[in-house]
Amino acid sequence: MILLGLGSNIGDRTQHLRRAVTALSGILSGIACSRVYETPALLPPDAPRDWDIPYYNMVLSGSADISPQVLLSAAKAIEKYHGRQHRGFWAPREIDVDILAMGGRCLQEEDLIIPHKSMAERDFVMVPLAELAPDWRFPAGQYEGQTAASLCAAKGYKLPLAGQQL
């Protein structure tokens, strides 16, 4: 199972997510989506005030027989095609597509770390992941063997129950 995190906080956030899911359906089969959650922007303390724009976040699952690097290239191409402009690392984005996991694969390269290095520390990733794939297990590292649902419970992660379907 491939797990992707999608987010948007500029423009028509719902439309950006829909377009990304449609584009990803050309790459992945058996796509399933979590609900969409509105969450505060994750920002460093010195971020400009105009970057503090709430995100719509979701997790998508699917399958494909492709390499992590091919998937990364496809994700970046989708972001670019759908208007993402690079304004800085923590800056607002039209669309963000992150590879969270690819089955039980572990990878650490300069431009790609699988499972995503920060996912366990982000409620806006873990809550939709636990909704979509509660039994998915961390394959390695500090949380090795823990399921998405058990990690959410252990960390007390909760997002508004008003998540919407895409």
CATH number of the domain encompassing residue 67: 3.30.70.560
104 occurs within a structural domain:
yes
What's the number of domains the chain is made of?
Answer: 1
165 occurs within a structural domain:
no
160 occurs within a structural domain:
no
Structure tokens, 67: 């390499």
Q: Are 44 and 90 in contact (CB under 8 A)?
A: yes
Domain that holds residue 119: 2-155
Per the model's pLDDT, the better-predicted residue between 164 and 33 turns out to be 33
Cα gap 5→59, rounded to integer Å: 5
What's the average model confidence in pLDDT over 139-158?
93
pTM: 0.93
164 occurs within a structural domain:
no
74 occurs within a structural domain:
yes
Q: What pLDDT band is residue 27 in, cutting at 50, 70 and 90? A: very high
28 occurs within a structural domain:
yes
